[in-house]
Amino acid sequence: MSIEAIVFDLDGVIIDTEEVWEEVRRGYVAEHGREFLPDSQDRMMGMSTGEWSAHLADEVGVPRTAPEVAADVLGRMAGRYREALPLIPGSVETVRALGARYRLALASSSARILIDQVLETAGLTGAFEVTLSTEEVPRGKPAPDVYLEAVGKLGLTPGVCAAVEDSSNGLRSAAAAGLTVIAVPHGVYPPAEDALAGATLVVKAITEVTPETIAAL
């Protein structure tokens, strides 16, 4: 069955923000006299806003409510994006090239306010038929909810859709939803081997995801 649509992750695929997220959240936690748990960074990659803010408030111990933590951190992230958007080289061109041949959707763990700002700044507003935040579905990644919702909004089935992901939780989410998974592992935050094993194709850079590559899946 040939691929009809491609669903992109955002952080780590189109923009290189994992280090920014870690810096902002670690700094915020430190200001409140707390420290990340040993697995906090890995666990939060792919979590929805409600999930990671609850982790920082309830498990790490930041003395603020989860909604307050979310508002504080998202405000700082938005400020960083306004200063400089860390686009991954070739990502915008890749999206446009694939969009000329395939239907596109976006399934991100970022908050809606950040998704919309990134797309506007990158000149990609309108490039995707569907854009979804895990805030808008019951469960964040690694649950399949956001991918199933994106595919459903496209009016397609998972079997004719490919996903482009970088993180362990993202790869697991797309695989659990039944999409054909393309992995673009992050150099600093590589996915776990078991998550990577669910990918049909592993590439070194987003620029390797071409219309010809998709057609050959």
Asked whether the predicted pLDDT for residue 9 surpasses 90, the reply is yes
How would you class 44 by CB atoms within 10 Å of its CB: exposed for 0-12, middle for 13-18, buried for 19 or more?
Answer: buried
Average pLDDT over residues 32-42: 94
Q: How far apart are CA 24 and CA 173, in angstroms?
A: 25
pLDDT value, residue 95: 99
Phi, psi dihedral angles at 10 (to 5 degrees): -110, -65
Residue ranges of alpha helices (H) inside the chain are 18-31, 40-44, 49-54, 66-83, 91-99, 112-122, 145-154, 168-177, 193-196, 211-215
Walk me through the domains of the chain, giving residue ranges and CATH numbers.
5-16+86-215 (3.40.50.1000), 18-83 (1.10.150)
pLDDT tens-digit series, residues 147-182: 999 999 999 999 999 999 999 999 999 999 999 999
pLDDT value, residue 82: 84
What pTM value is reported for the model?
0.88
Residue 173 CB partners (closer than 8 Å, separation 6+): 46, 107, 141, 142, 143, 144, 145, 146, 147, 165
Left if phi > 0, otherwise alpha if psi is -120 to 50, otherwise beta: which for 204? alpha
Asked whether the predicted pLDDT for residue 1 surpasses 80, the reply is no
pLDDT tens-digit series, residues 196-216: 999 999 999 999 999 999 999
**Identity of the amino acid at 52:** W
Residue 132: DSSP 8-state? E
Q: Which two tokens stand for residue 135?
A: 């805030």
The rounded percent of the chain whose pLDDT value lies above 70 is 100
pLDDT tens-digit series, residues 62-118: 999 999 999 999 999 988 988 899 999 999 999 999 999 999 999 999 999 999 989
pLDDT bucket at 42, cuts 50 / 70 / 90: confident
Q: How far apart are CA 42 and CA 189, in angstroms?
A: 8
Asked whether the predicted pLDDT for residue 142 surpasses 90, the reply is yes
Asked whether the predicted pLDDT for residue 48 surpasses 90, the reply is no
Q: What is the mean pLDDT of the chain?
A: 95
The rounded percent of the chain whose pLDDT value lies above 90 is 88
Q: How far apart are CA 143 and CA 174, in angstroms?
A: 8
Q: How far apart are CA 216 and CA 162, in angstroms?
A: 12
pLDDT value, residue 187: 85
